[in-house]
Amino acid sequence: MVPIIHTLQILFLALLFFTFLLHTTISFYTPFVNILYHLLTTHLHFFLLFSLCTLVSLFYYYHIRPHRVFLLNYSCYKPPPHRKFSYEIRESFFLKNVQLVQESIDFMHNICLKSSLGEETYGPPFIFEDDKNNNIPTLKSANQEAREGIFLSIDDLLAKTLIDPQSVDVLIVTCGGFSPSPSLSSLVVNRYNLRPDVKTYNLSGMGCSSGILSLDFAARILRGSQKVQNALVVIIESVTLNWYNGQNRSMLVTNCIFRVGCAAAIMSNNPKLYQGAKMELVHSLRTHHGADDSSYKAAIQEEDDKGITGISLTKDLIRVAGVNLRQHVKILAPRVLALSQITNYAYSMIMSTILPQKFKPVVPNFATAFEHICIHSGGKAVIEQIGRVLKFSDEVTEPARMTLNRFGNTSSSLVFYELAYFEAKKGKVKKGDRMWMLAFGTGFKVGSLVWKWTQDSTQDSDNPWNDCIHNYPLRTW
């Protein structure tokens, strides 16, 4: 809507100007001083009208132009040490779970060994409870998981930014598989005593992409509003209620790779806060491929043949991710790549259409457009597929592989753990560097955020990598 309004303003001014020139029969080659003198002496009323329209248009544009949006800061939740889901704890939990048969336990054991997850990922609270509930996930334990992650993340974030909760204008909370009543956004409003007029949004069912999509949502609100200045975004997933105790192998995979994690971030369009912000959002792109049946069913929550609910990750998921990623980058490429890269890419597309047997489309080198890339670390196969499609080296995929090893698949918050990895590497990120965040989600959705760093990165005291960054990178596969 805003570009259309600006175009109409420009057309109006141009029309007004050329009409005036025709009306006064002044040549384009007449010296400017003579034109101005002629206007003031013979057509003062028309000159004043033209000047007024110009000033009104400039004033109007100043007030409706899209605002710059910045990420002030973020915080990643790091559970306490006694929640580490090590190999011994995992095997013990599987064996004492009366609902799991031995065949399912053996299958999960093999998946865990091949998953590239390390020994220090974190499990949900119900796994560490006593046997009074037979280690069955409950609503109470799901609420406990959500409260711990959300509250500690927000507490750390508010302490770092010194933002008063009363100055929060928009609250967005996203959780794919847990939607209690009252909602998680209401939980945050109650805990931090937010203003009665705060705008709250509770997003669910969007999978691992919802972290990036919620940031894009917040940015769109901030770009078009003068009154709304600060948006608090909370990104979490519920491992507890997504735990599967049946025998369907496609659903058992989620037990092996998903782990506890949460992130909170504050975005703002307040010019007074620009100087202390970490990054500015430059581009964002969301593509939805749910019209295709195979994409829609690639990752889906459903009941198995015994009525047990779980999230099914089909064998077609990796292929779908690759196909939809190619479609996504076709749209993103012209926005971020250099002209030479775009020209080569367009030429290869044209020639592959004309002579498909001799030419194949080249893959643009996105590593030249960004200094840092946070790709979706949903699993070993997903990272490998992204690397193949985009021709990424091991150096580019290192943050994703290390995040998967240290924290597992934390779903929608995983890109923030990768972001923290970059910051923990001292001197890794500099002012002016460009960063690409890429994530996939159920539906099937692909989301991208392109950032520009406004200052050199700093290692915050609550960075979840502080105690272990010296051990990384590891050789994980």
Kindly state the average pLDDT of the residues 19-39. 55
Q: Flag whether pLDDT at 244 surpasses 60.
A: yes
φ, ψ for residue 236, nearest 5 deg: -150, 160
Residues 60 and 79 in one domain: no
Instruction: Tell me which of 42-46, 338-342, 343-347 is least confident.
Output: 42-46
- Residue ranges making up the domain that contains 111: 70-471
Residues 60 and 81 in one domain: no
410 located within any domain: yes
Catalytic residue among 97, 230, 405, 409: 409
Kindly state the average pLDDT of the residues 341-348. 79
Question: What is the CATH number for 229?
Answer: 3.40.47.10
Q: Do 158 and 204 meet the contact criterion of CB atoms below 8 Å apart? A: no
Domain edge (last residue) among 17, 38, 64: 64
Q: Do 450 and 434 meet the contact criterion of CB atoms below 8 Å apart? A: yes
Domain edge (last residue) among 64, 95, 115: 64
Residues 352 and 304 in one domain: yes
Residues 312 and 434 in one domain: yes
Residues with Cβ < 8 Å from 212, sequence gap 6 or more? 412, 415, 437, 438, 439, 447, 448, 449
Residues 93 and 115 in one domain: yes
Residues 23 and 109 in one domain: no
Residues 59 and 121 in one domain: no
In 162-241, DSSP assigns E strands to 170-175, 199-203, 230-236
Residues 51 and 75 in one domain: no
- The more confident residue out of 42 and 270 is 270
Residues 58 and 75 in one domain: no
476 located within any domain: no
3-state secondary structure of 399: helix
Residue with tokens 């698949």: 409
The answer to whether residue 6 is catalytic is no
8 burial class (0-12, 13-18, 19+ CB within 10 angstroms)?
exposed
477 located within any domain: no
The answer to whether residue 409 is catalytic is yes
Q: How many domains does the chain have?
A: 2
Does the predicted model carry a pTM greater than 0.75? Answer: yes
Catalytic residue among 43, 283, 288, 344: 288
346 located within any domain: yes
CA–CA gap between residue 24 and residue 21 (Å, rounded): 5
| Tens digit of each residue's pLDDT (9 = 90 or more) over 89-147 | 888 888 877 778 888 888 988 988 888 898 999 999 988 877 655 567 889 999 999 99
Residues 13 and 149 in one domain: no
Cα 23 to Cα 12, 41, 90: the distances in Å are 16, 15, 85
302 located within any domain: yes
- The more confident residue out of 445 and 354 is 445
Catalytic residue among 208, 256, 262, 374: 208
The answer to whether residue 208 is catalytic is yes
Q: Flag whether pLDDT at 226 surpasses 90.
A: no
56 located within any domain: yes
| Tens digit of each residue's pLDDT (9 = 90 or more) over 255-290 | 989 999 999 999 999 888 878 889 999 999 999 999
Residues 47 and 188 in one domain: no
Catalytic residue among 112, 269, 289, 376: 376
Domain edge (last residue) among 49, 64, 79: 64
In total, the chain counts a number of residues equal to 477
pLDDT at residue number 346:
78
47 located within any domain: yes
**Bridge-based pairing state of the strands 434-441 and 372-374:** parallel
Residues 77 and 59 in one domain: no
CA–CA gap between residue 477 and residue 470 (Å, rounded): 19
Catalytic residue among 73, 245, 372, 405: 372
pLDDT at residue number 338:
83
407 located within any domain: yes
